[in-house]
Every structure is written in structure tokens, then in C-alpha cells.
Amino acid sequence: MLKVLPPEIANLIAAGEVVGRPASVVKELMENSVDAGATAVTVSISDSGRTLIKVSDNGCGMSRDDAVLCFERHATSKISGASDLERIMTYGFRGEALASIAAVSAVTLRTRRKDGDVGTKVEAEQSGVISVEGDPIAEGTVFEVRNLFYNVPARRKFLKSDAVEMRNIVQEFLRVALTRPEMALRLISGGKDVYNLRPVQNIKQRIRDIYGMNVARELVEVNVNTTIVNVSGFIGSPEGARKRSGTQFFFVNGRYFRSPMLNKAVCKPYEKLISDGSLPAYFLYLTINPEEVDVNIHPTKTEVKFGDEGVIFEILMAGVRESLGKNDFTPSIEFDSVGNIPQIPVFHKNDTTSRSPYVPKPDYTPLFNPFDTPSYPESVRGSFHPEEKFLFEEAPAEDGRDILVAHGKYILVPVKSGIMLIHVERARQRIFYERYYEKIAEQQPIVQRTLFPQTVKLSAEDCLALTERSETVAQLGFDIRDFGGGSVVVYGVPEGFEIDESGVAGSIDALIAALCDETQIDDYRHSVAVKLAESAAATGRKALNHTEAQLLVDSLFACREPNLSPSGHRCVTIISTEDLDKLL
Ligand code: ADP
Ligand code: MG
């Protein structure tokens, strides 16, 4: 039998589409403030938005009637006919956000119009508006959203760690900040300022205020005008590229969007200038006829659809390439055309001796070697029990005489039934993973002291991620202190990470990435250990000498699960003698 859902349930379902997490509330409320013509907006957060999200603006405010009506689904002041849909330039226009937010939280609205009367206070919740009274408030609007998802336990459970939720909020905040330099924008979390951005003349100044002089200085301008699209904005120098995302922004007609495809267009010209897996910073603003872009695929999705994405791809890529060229960021030789160079030269951002021009260099880093650190635990060094731990019933000869290292990538060991092949990087991942995992449990980190305390500059966002997880940070073996003023002082890092000056910043990067990994849900310890192990294993890739290779093999087989890397790839395989015979 068919049933029409009762309105409260229908509302809850609809709410789920608009409000997925605290950050979506921040987004909707901030966008409403922008649409209301505010010049100053303050966002105040408690408990990563779980208990309170408060957004205050000095915009146009609402009349008493509108203040009540705005909680109705499809109540909007921004659109009246179908023709408006094509040209809409404001952020919201579905009239759904406030109804959806009220369905899953307790909302208090205070508002007063510029020319208006006394001002109004409205309280709304799942059942709708529950009280309306006069309230002498300053001109503008204040929304307070409390106890988000109190009535939807499933959603509440679905929320990630505080650090992740807060990071999402910061991202939403920054997306508005990066399109509205003329607005004063403030983000407060737990009573402390995360950002307090003054109004400025242009985007570049805003970027500087958000990310600091170091990032802003390295930016170069992009400016392309075509009949299809105009692209303006800034891209980072190759040496500023980082392993972790966070400073990549696309906007179209003043609205943030993400596009893996256009990301490729931007990254392509950097290909030979930055190391694998690094991303340049970019802040790119596309202006396009609103009829040529559909921003409204889904209310909470940040994807957009372009009339002709292929053309935009080409234009963007050309624009980025041109800017890089103009600023001498391109390599002096086209390596592609110099046939037979075995390895693509990689620019090492840590190598300060050769900042520019980007001369070709051999593809290796003077790598850290995990196997010569004295802090290597004894228990791992000597123990080798392949019988119980390895599914192939074979053990490499312990003297290691016949071990061969191939291309720094594989270790070959003759065994009874053939040749054992070990994937060096995955083996390292496994070894580090097990150690980190244990350390987190034992609360006994092995810290390598840095040579000198090293100051690392961080964005406010990153500082926040570290402070909010300070306990885990310490458990992992990071000794980081003196948060504040946008920098931290690093006294120690876990074994496996580099301790020299250039290495430390990279380690902190890896740490933040691990802490803020979106995919971690339940098993935080596991996911942090995996991330860190992967970073540590990738930190350096020096050709292993014989002893080091032997040590690596020993350590691998001392692991609980030597066969697989922590993310489930094979570390080891055996090529049987029969298979070898067949080859020849
Ligand atoms: P939409 O933004 O799609 O119109 P919302 O549910 O977000 O829908 O908001 C409904 C209406 O409430 C808006 O159209 C606007 O008229 C009014 N409104 C919401 N927030 C504010 C604000 N901060 N200042 C003034 N008016 C607001
Ligand atoms: Mg809205």
C-alpha cells in the first residue's frame, strides 16, 4: 500500500540533502549573509559545529513576516519566475536551506531591517516556528543553530572526527573569503579567532591575509580572456607545490566548485617541474555566461557542468602554461624530446641549493635510511620468524649473501622454490605501519629529536588540526610545541621521518594530512598509522646497500603481516623455478 510520508519525515529526508554536516550549515548561512548584502560576517563555532554554529551579519535583515516565512520550504526572496533560473547570480535560490536546517536542529533567528522597526526573534525546530517575539537587535541578522542532528542519530554518528569537521568548516569559510575580499570575515572556534580577515582591495591581499606572505609571494598571475571564458587569478610557483591538497580553488561566477578534470588542466603544465603527487597552489576565477554553466546539479554538491568542458580545459591549461613560462618557471630543456633519458627529472622542493632555474637532476633524493637510526627497536632488529608469519614456507637465507637490489625498487632473494621478490616501498610501509600502530597503542612513542628545534609556519587551519589532536600527535612521536602565531616549534618527529630542516616541514605536512584524512571513520589509529607509514616510506628512496636490504628483509619478516602493505597491496611474491624455466 502506498503512503504519503508525514511532513516531518519528508522534511527530515529533504534536510539530509542540504545539510550533511556542520560545514553545510556554515555554507548556507554565510551564503545567505552574502546574498543579504552584508559587509561583515562573523561565524562562531563550538565543538566543531556539533553544539553551536552562529552566524552574524550586518546585511539587509528581515521583516517580522519574512523572519517567520523564511523557515518555510521554498520560501525565497531570490527568484520569482522560471526565467530567473537561467540568470541567477546569488548563491541560494531554492528556499530550502533554512527549512532544512531547522528540521535537524534548534534554530534561533534574530533580525532587523535597516529601515526597520524593532527587530524580531524567531525560534524554529523540526515542527516549524515555535515562537516569535520582538527583539531589539542591531541591524542585520544572527542565526544560531544548536545541537545539530539531535533528532537524527544516524547522521550524528556519520560525522567524522572534530578535526575533520572543523577542517570542512574552515574550507567553507575560506571559499567565501576568497570570493569576497571586500567583506570583513571572522571565524571563531571555541572562543578563539581562527581567522579575522579585514576587508581588502583585492584577492591577492586576501590570499596573503589567509595564507601568509610566504604563500602570497610565490604566486603568479593568470589572466586569459576569450569569448568563451575569462580566467583570472593566481597559481603557485612549482617549488611551493605540496603533497597535500588545501590550497586549490576554482570559482565560477563567484562560486566555488571542484573539478578533478580542470585540476588536471592546471597541473599538466607543472608536470616536469614538481615531484610526483605534489599539487601546486591555485586560486582561479572563471567568468562565464551563466547560461553556459549549470551550478545546480545538486544543492550540496560542488560540481558544476560546463557547456563545453573540453574547451575550458584547453584554455585553462594554456593560461597556466603561459604564466609559468612568463615567470621563468618552465624547465630550460623539454625533457620529452630528449629521447632516452631514463628518468624524468624531478624538482626537489627541499633542495634549497638549486632553487631555480629548474635544471635537470637525477631522480633520487639523498634519502633518509630508516635502517641506520639507532632508535630502531632491538626486538625488531634480531627477530626473524618466517615460519609462523609468512605464508610461503620459505625463508630467505639469513646470511643474505645472495640478496640483490634491483633499481632501488625491488629486492630479489633466492629461496628454495624460486626467487622471492620484495617490493621495497611497500615493505617499508608495512614495517613502519606496525611500529606506529603499536606506538599509538602503547602511548610510548619513539621520538627522534630534531637537530635544532625547528619552527614551521602553518596556516591557521593546520594549526587548528594539530591542536585539536594534540594527544594523538604526541602519541605518534611528534614533539610539537608553542602553537600560536601561525607556527609551531618541532622538537621531535617519529622515527622514519627526516629530522633535518627541510624534512621537518614535510613531516608536519604528512601528519596533518593523516590527521585530517577524510576516509578515517572508526579506526583512527589504523588510518593515522597507515598514512604516516606511507609518508615515511616515501620520504626517501636511496639505493639500498646490501646490509640495508638484508635488514629490510629481516624487519619485514618480523612483522605480523609481512605479505601485505598496510593498504592491502602485496609486499612479497615468489616466482617459482618452473615459471623461471618457462621464461627461457
Ligand atoms: P534561499 O537562500 O535559497 O533563498 P534560504 O532558506 O537559505 O533560501 O533562505 C530563505 C530566505 O530567507 C532568503 O531568500 C532570504 O530572503 C531570507 N534570508 C535568509 N538569511 C538571511 C539573512 N542573513 N539576511 C537577510 N535575509 C535572509
Ligand atoms: Mg540560502
Ligand 2: centre distance to CA 99 (Å): 10
What ligand is nearest to the CA atom of residue 143? 1
Specify the residue with its C-alpha closest to ligand 1, atom 21: 32
pLDDT digits (tens, 9 = 90+) for 135-162: 988 999 999 999 999 988 878 887 888 8
For the chain, domain boundaries: 7-197, 203-326, 444-539
Cβ 160 vs Cβ 149: under 8 Å: no
pLDDT for 517: 66
pLDDT for 386: 34
167-195: average pLDDT: 94
76-83: average pLDDT: 64
**Looking at 98-243, which runs of residues are DSSP E strands?**
106-112, 120-125, 128-134, 140-146, 184-189, 192-197, 219-225, 230-236
pLDDT digits (tens, 9 = 90+) for 351-363: 333 333 322 222 2
Question: What single DSSP character describes residue 372?
Answer: G
- Give 497's contacts (C-beta < 8 A, 6+ positions apart): 368, 448, 503, 504, 506, 507, 510, 535, 536, 539
Q: Give pTM, 2 decimals.
A: 0.65
Confidence of residue 131 (pLDDT cuts 50, 70, 90): very high
What ligand is nearest to the CA atom of residue 31? 2
**Given strand 255-257, what is the order of strands in its sheet?**
219-225, 230-236, 282-287, 248-252, 255-257
Ligand 1 pocket test, pick from 19, 24, 32, 300 with the greatest ligand atom count within 8 Å of Cβ, gives 32
DSSP alpha helices (H): ranges in 242-331?
Answer: 260-267, 309-326
Specify the residue with its C-alpha closest to ligand 1, atom 2: 92
Cell numbers standing for residue 369: 635510511
- Taking the C-alpha atoms of residue 77 and residue 73, their distance in angstroms, rounded to an integer, is 12
pLDDT digits (tens, 9 = 90+) for 221-246: 999 999 889 999 999 998 888 777 78
Best CATH choice for the domain 7-197 from the list 3.30.565.10, 3.40.710.10, 3.40.50.720, 3.30.70.20: 3.30.565.10
pLDDT digits (tens, 9 = 90+) for 357-383: 322 222 222 222 333 332 322 222 223
Q: Whole-angstrom distance between the N-terminal and C-terminal Cα of the chain?
A: 70
CATH of domain 444-539: 3.30.1370.100
291-312: average pLDDT: 77
pLDDT digits (tens, 9 = 90+) for 476-530: 778 888 766 678 888 888 776 777 777 788 788 878 877 776 555 445 667 778 8
Beta carbons within 10 angstroms of residue 83's beta carbon = 8
Specify the residue with its C-alpha closest to ligand 1, atom 7: 97
Ligand 1: centre distance to CA 17 (Å): 18
Ligand 1: centre distance to CA 296 (Å): 17
- Taking the C-alpha atoms of residue 30 and residue 49, their distance in angstroms, rounded to an integer, is 14
Cβ 159 vs Cβ 54: under 8 Å: no
**CA of 491: how far to CAs of 21, 130, 350, 454, 486, in Å?**
36, 54, 19, 7, 17
Q: Which protein residues touch ligand 1 with a CB less than 6 Å away?
A: 28, 32-33, 36, 57, 59-62, 70, 75-78, 92-98, 141
Ligand 2: centre distance to CA 532 (Å): 40
Best CATH choice for the domain 203-326 from the list 3.40.47.10, 3.30.230.10, 3.40.50.1000, 3.40.30.10: 3.30.230.10
